[in-house]
């Protein structure tokens, strides 16, 4: 399985730290829009397969290319880039989001406008996992799936979001329905402690699911079919409730 996108456009928006960022956004499929936020290894064949699965399930996919070489998995090089260049991402930041958060907020509004949609679904994975939850504070976003959320790295009980950002996201979830967070039960990067911190922060507004295994990337490199099946079901519910 692979993914043939229909179009690509450059998207420029402000960072929370000031300045601008520009990234290409790949688009393909028809149906309600879902934004996939890539994980650290890059947009490789497995991520493109996820986009195709969602197209087949009846969704239009927006896939911004933020890290690495499009079409390839380059874990070491991408990790080195994020360790050294924190203009957009900061993997160790506690109590607030990385500067790229504002860019993502602008992108979901752009997607909703482009498609004249009732709203947008968001999938975040690993370093982008928690953004899928905080984006539920945005009027444009109807639902968020955090797959193996891992930031901040070595963060213990700390979250990659401020108390105000948690409160805003909780309010969004209260209006739209809960967010969804998933992990492999023995994943050390998206740890049990971190998932517990998310549960404590969001309470009944966040559904959490754990699957047997010690792998990491539920929807891509370590694909888990039952985990994936929860995703289209979750978004169909969110979009149906918004109609």
Q: Is residue 43 part of a domain?
A: yes
pLDDT, position 189: 92
SS3 73: coil
Domain count, the chain: 1
1 in a structural domain: no
User: Residue 81's pLDDT is what?
Assistant: 55
Radius of gyration of the chain (CA): 16
Written as six digits, the tokens of 10 are 């450059």
CATH number, position 213: 3.40.50.1820
Instruction: Write the CA distances from 113 to 30, 109, 140, 141, 205, integer angstroms.
Output: 15, 6, 9, 12, 27
CA–CA separation, 24 vs 17, rounded Å? Answer: 21
C-alpha distances in Å from residue 120, one per residue of 30, 132, 141, 145, 162: 13, 11, 5, 12, 23
Residue 92 counted as domain residue: yes
H or E element that contains 111: helix 100-115
> Considering the domain boundaries, does residue 2 fall inside one?
no
Q: Which domain holds residue 202?
A: 7-242
How high is the pLDDT of residue 86? 62
- Residue 238 falls inside a structural domain: yes
Q: What is the pTM of this model?
A: 0.95
Q: What is the pLDDT of residue 108?
A: 98
Q: What is the spatial distance between Cα 38 and Cα 51, in angstroms, rounded to a whole number? A: 11
Separation of alpha carbons 93 and 90, rounded Å: 6
**Per-residue confidence (pLDDT) for residue 71, from 0 to 100:** 86
What tens-digit pLDDT sequence spans the chain (243 residues)?
679 999 999 999 999 888 899 999 999 999 999 999 999 888 999 999 999 999 999 999 999 999 888 988 875 554 555 544 467 888 889 999 999 999 999 999 999 999 999 999 999 999 999 999 999 999 999 999 999 999 998 888 999 999 999 999 999 999 999 999 999 999 999 999 999 999 999 999 999 999 999 999 999 999 999 999 999 999 999 999 998
Tokens of 36: 């996939």
């Amino acid at each position: 399985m692979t993914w043939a996108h229909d179009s690509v456009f450059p998207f420029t928006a402000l960072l929370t730290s000031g300045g601008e960022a520009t990234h290409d956004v790949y688009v393909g499929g028809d149906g309600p829009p879902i934004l996939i936020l890539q994980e650290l290894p890059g947009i490789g064949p497995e991520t493109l397969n996820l986009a195709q699965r969602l197209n087949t399930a009846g969704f239009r996919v927006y896939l911004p290319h933020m890290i690495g070489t499009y079409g390839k998995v380059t874990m070491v090089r991408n990790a080195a880039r994020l360790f050294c260049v924190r203009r957009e991402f900061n993997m160790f930041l506690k109590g607030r989001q990385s500067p790229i958060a504002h860019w993502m907020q602008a992108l979901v509004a752009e997607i909703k406008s482009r498609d004249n949609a009732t709203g947008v679904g968001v999938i975040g994975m690993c370093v982008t996992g928690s953004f899928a939850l905080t984006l539920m504070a945005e009027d444009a976003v109807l639902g968020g799936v955090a797959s193996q959320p891992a930031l901040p790295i070595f963060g213990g009980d700390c979250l990659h979001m401020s108390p105000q950002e948690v409160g805003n996201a909780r309010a969004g979830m209260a209006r739209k329905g809960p967010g969804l967070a998933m992990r492999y039960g023995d994943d050390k990067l998206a740890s049990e402690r971190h998932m517990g911190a998310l549960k404590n922060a969001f309470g009944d507004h966040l559904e959490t699911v754990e699957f047997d295994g010690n792998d990491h990337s539920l929807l891509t490199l370590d694909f888990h079919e039952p985990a994936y099946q929860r995703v289209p079901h979750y978004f169909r519910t969110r979009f149906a409730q918004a109609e």
